[in-house]
């Protein structure tokens, strides 16, 4: 498994898509920090305040990261390397779990890069421009930002698990990408269009959709002109349980699919 992970890290280091997304996220966080500062100034009520601001922009990560994860899981079938790797003694279970583990590491890396760079640029700009940096809301900002970052990691991991399952079942990069797009935008539809439906079942589906929870903890979920946030223990338990269940179900399905089916390139 360790050797396989090393090989996959080597693949990523040579992969143009991975490098491009890393650059894209760096530019996005840089551009966002500059643009927000120019609009609202760099005065801060706490040094962690920029992080709290940045998490509300994390929604666009859900368009890009799942797409890359989809490429990453299907590349073995596309180029045929899965055939060699399995034939060289790597277990199928190890193959899937290794890919997923690296997918989660990629999520951590990109979130760290996106939020970290945003925070560094914002704080540097505040120092350079001599804007005041207070400490009044530090504790609250740390708690809110950490909760949001943690939930983002969990939800991106859940998205990756779904995409991984689709990739392993479909095995063709182009078709898997289309399915991933359907899943990502389908989630938006579940959240948006079914929000006010009269059907109890559809309403339940919408309430428990991944995107509904993401929008709630990102402070973007609006119902009857009111922003709905996660409040209370039950909300948080639900927000954690939903992605955990999705991860378990999708990874199990992906594992079973790869274990049971023959590999033909």
Partner 1 sequence: MKLAVFEAKDVTKRYSSGFVLQGLDMTIMAGDIYGFVGENGAGKTTLMKIIGGLVQPTGGEITLFGQRGKKELRVARRGVGFLIEMPALYPHMSAEENLKFYCHVLGIRNPQRIDEVLQAVALTDAGNKKASDYSLGMRQRLGLAIALLGSPQLLVLDEPINGLDPAGIVDMRQILERLVKEQGVTVLISSHILSELQLLATQYGFIHKGRLLKEISAADLLRSAQTLLCISTPNAESAAALLKQRLQIADITVNAPGELRIPKASVDLERLMAVFLQEGIPVEGFNMSAPNLEHYYMDLIGGGER
> How many residues sit in the footprint of partner 1 (CB under 8 A)?
27
Distance CA 253, CA 258 (A): 9
Indicate the residue among 14 and 198 with the shorter CB distance to partner 1: 14
Q: If binding is defined by CB under 8 A, does position 6 make contact with partner 1?
A: yes
Q: Which of 57, 102, 75, 55 lies closest to 15 in space, CA to CA?
A: 75
Q: If binding is defined by CB under 8 A, does position 90 make contact with partner 1?
A: yes
Task: Tell me, residue by residue from 15 to 34, as one string, x for binding to partner 1 by CB under 8 A and - for no binding.
Answer: xx------------------
Q: If binding is defined by CB under 8 A, does position 93 make contact with partner 1?
A: no
Q: If binding is defined by CB under 8 A, does position 185 make contact with partner 1?
A: no
Q: If binding is defined by CB under 8 A, does position 257 make contact with partner 1?
A: no
Indicate the residue among 81 and 137 with the shorter CB distance to partner 1: 81
For 234, how many CA atoms within 13 A lie in the half-sphere containing its CB? 1
Q: If binding is defined by CB under 8 A, does position 135 make contact with partner 1?
A: no
- In SS3 terms, 199-230 reads as CHHHHHHHHCCHHHHHHHHCCCCEECCEECCC
Consecutive H or E run containing 1: none
Span interacting with partner 1, options 63-71, 84-92, 216-224, 244-252, rule CB under 8 A: 84-92
Indicate the residue among 87 and 200 with the shorter CB distance to partner 1: 87
Q: Write down the residue that tokens 């997923």 correspond to.
A: 100
From the list 39, 88, 128, 200, which residue makes contact with partner 1 (rule: CB under 8 A)? 88
Q: Which of 128, 94, 124 lies closest to 6 in space, CA to CA?
A: 94
CB of 255 to partner 1, least distance (A): 15
Give, as one character, the DSSP assignment of residue 58: G
For residue 222, list its beta bridge partners.
Answer: 227
The sign of the dihedral angle between the CA atoms of 227, 231, 234, 238 is positive
From the list 7, 104, 173, 202, which residue makes contact with partner 1 (rule: CB under 8 A)? 7
How crowded is residue 27: how many other Cβ atoms within 10 Å of its Cβ? 11
Span interacting with partner 1, options 2-10, 127-135, 176-184, 186-194, rule CB under 8 A: 2-10
Indicate the residue among 9 and 139 with the shorter CB distance to partner 1: 9
Q: Which of 64, 76, 99, 102 lies closest to 181 in space, CA to CA?
A: 64
From the list 128, 226, 234, 262, which residue makes contact with partner 1 (rule: CB under 8 A)? 262
Q: If binding is defined by CB under 8 A, does position 173 make contact with partner 1?
A: no
**Contacts with partner 1, residue ranges (CB under 8 A):** 2-4, 6-7, 10-11, 14-16, 79-91, 262-265
């Amino acid at each position: 498994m360790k050797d396989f992970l090393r090989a996959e890290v080597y693949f990523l280091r040579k992969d143009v898509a991975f490098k491009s997304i890393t650059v894209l996220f760096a530019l996005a966080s840089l551009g966002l920090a500059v643009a927000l500062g120019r609009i609202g100034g760099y005065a801060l009520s706490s040094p962690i305040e920029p992080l709290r601001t940045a998490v509300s922009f994390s929604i666009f990560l859900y368009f890009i990261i799942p797409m890359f994860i989809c490429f990453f899981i299907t590349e073995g079938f596309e180029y045929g390397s899965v055939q060699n790797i399995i034939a060289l003694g790597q277990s199928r279970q190890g193959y899937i779990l290794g890919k997923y583990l690296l997918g989660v590491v990629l999520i951590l890396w990109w979130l760290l890069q996106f939020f970290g760079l945003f925070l560094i640029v914002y704080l540097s700009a505040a120092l350079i421009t001599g804007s005041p940096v207070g400490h009044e809301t530090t504790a609250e900002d740390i708690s809110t930002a950490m909760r949001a970052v943690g939930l983002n990691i969990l939800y991106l991991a859940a998205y990756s698990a779904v995409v991984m399952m689709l990739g392993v079942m479909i095995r063709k990069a182009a078709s898997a990408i289309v399915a991933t797009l359907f899943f990502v935008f389908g989630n938006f539809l579940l959240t948006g269009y079914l929000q006010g439906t009269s059907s109890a079942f559809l309403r339940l589906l919408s309430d428990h959709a991944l995107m509904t929870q993401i929008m709630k903890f990102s402070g973007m979920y609006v119902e009857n002109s009111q922003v709905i946030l996660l409040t209370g223990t039950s909300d948080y338990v639900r927000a954690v349980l939903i992605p955990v269940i999705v991860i378990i179900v999708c990874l199990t399905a992906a594992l079973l699919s790869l274990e049971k089916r023959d590999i033909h390139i």
